């Protein structure tokens, strides 16, 4: 779905500056609930796995739910019979920690696959406790890659080349990007076919979307013509607050059907899953959070 940066910019005006009625309307209805429609059950996978669809989970603002969404979307896709690889492209290694993988103790991580000619992603991937869900871990070593890649030829395509060793083994490859628009994130966008933008329903999170969409437009124009925004995912949604509902309404107004109808609400279950090192679909399988990510998986499967 094509979204231009100028359309994104229109979303960041404070709702009460341009539409004084929006706050009153948001008080009366929940805009997220109003968009809910029944989602069809995904058909079973026929034939073998691969080649994978590559999706980057991207937002330069931290703390918006990128890692949580990567883990739980991947686990939900596995429940529907897909084989999934998660790539941790953040030197903080939150994705690895969230799946209980001690990345700091590993000798080889995604850094080695990117920087060493004789090491592939297939060499550094590790299985998780969820059958069908594998991980390429990351740790602080990856922070050096951003500097070292600067002198490389076709530096923006390093991850794209590395994916060739694993692409045919999976149905989906999800990349958890770092909270910046640096060279590692550009590598993820160059390698991906789609981008999911987790967006916290809060005004300051909304302000960064225009810059992110502008970056995606430039990558699409110069490096990856197949890149599209798969969807915008509202996270940390709390229907009890007027501000949350106003921001969500503004996002839908600006981006329309590009916004997933699935919203991820605030729940204490998500911090618990990080401690447990498990997706919410296995830690609390009957929770609202698990149900939401299963719905998101249904939407992703029809893209």
Would you give per-residue pLDDT tens digits along the chain (303 residues)? 556 556 566 655 544 444 444 444 444 689 999 998 999 899 888 888 889 999 999 998 888 999 999 999 999 999 999 999 999 999 999 999 999 998 888 989 999 999 999 999 999 999 999 999 999 999 999 999 989 999 888 899 999 999 999 999 999 999 999 998 899 999 999 999 999 999 998 888 777 788 899 999 999 999 999 999 999 999 999 988 998 999 999 999 989 999 999 999 987 778 778 777 889 998 889 999 999 999 999 999 998
pLDDT in tens, 180-209: 889 999 999 999 999 999 999 888 877 778
- Interval 267-278: pLDDT, tens: 777 877 877 788
Domains in the chain with CATH codes: 5-33+47-301 (3.40.50.300)
| Predicted pLDDT of residue 83 | 97
DSSP type of residue 293: H
The alpha-helical segments, DSSP class H, found in the chain are: 5-9, 15-18, 20-28, 31-34, 66-79, 94-98, 110-115, 121-124, 143-148, 158-162, 183-191, 203-207, 209-222, 242-255, 269-276, 280-283, 288-301
**What is the pTM (predicted TM-score) of this model?**
0.90
Token pair for 248: 């969500």
Look at residue 25 in the predicted model and tell me its pLDDT.
Answer: 47
């Amino acid at each position: 779905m094509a979204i231009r940066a100028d359309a994104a910019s229109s979303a960041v005006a404070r709702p009460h500056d341009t539409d004084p009625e929006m706050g009153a309307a948001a008080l009366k209805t929940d805009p997220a609930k109003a968009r809910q429609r029944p989602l069809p059950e995904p058909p079973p996978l026929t034939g073998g796995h691969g080649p994978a669809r590559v999706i980057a989970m991207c937002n330069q603002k931290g703390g918006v739910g990128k890692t949580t969404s990567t883990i739980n979307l991947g686990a939900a896709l596995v429940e529907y019979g897909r084989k999934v690889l998660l790539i941790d492209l953040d030197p903080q290694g939150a994705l690895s920690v969230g799946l209980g993988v001690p990345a700091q103790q590993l000798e080889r991580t995604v850094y080695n696959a990117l920087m060493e000619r004789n090491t592939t992603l297939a060499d550094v991937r590790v299985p998780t406790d969820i059958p069908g869900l594998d991980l390429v871990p990351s740790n602080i070593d990856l922070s050096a890659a951003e500097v070292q890649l600067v002198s490389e030829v076709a530096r923006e395509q390093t991850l794209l080349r590395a994916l060739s060793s694993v692409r045919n083994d999976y149905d989906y490859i999800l990349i958890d990007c770092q909270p910046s628009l640096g060279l590692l994130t550009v590598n993820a966008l160059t390698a991906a076919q789609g981008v999911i933008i987790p967006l916290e329903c809060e005004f300051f999170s909304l302000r960064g979307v225009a810059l992110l969409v502008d970056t995606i437009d430039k990558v699409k124009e110069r490096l990856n013509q197949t890149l599209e925004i798969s969807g915008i995912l509202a996270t940390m949604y709390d229907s009890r607050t007027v501000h949350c509902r106003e921001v969500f309404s503004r996002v839908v107004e600006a981006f329309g059907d590009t916004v997933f109808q699935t919203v991820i609400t605030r729940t204490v279950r998500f911090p618990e899953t990080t401690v447990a090192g498990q997706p919410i679909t296995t830690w609390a399988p009957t929770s609202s959070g698990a149900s939401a990510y299963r719905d998101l998986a249904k939407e992703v499967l029809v893209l």
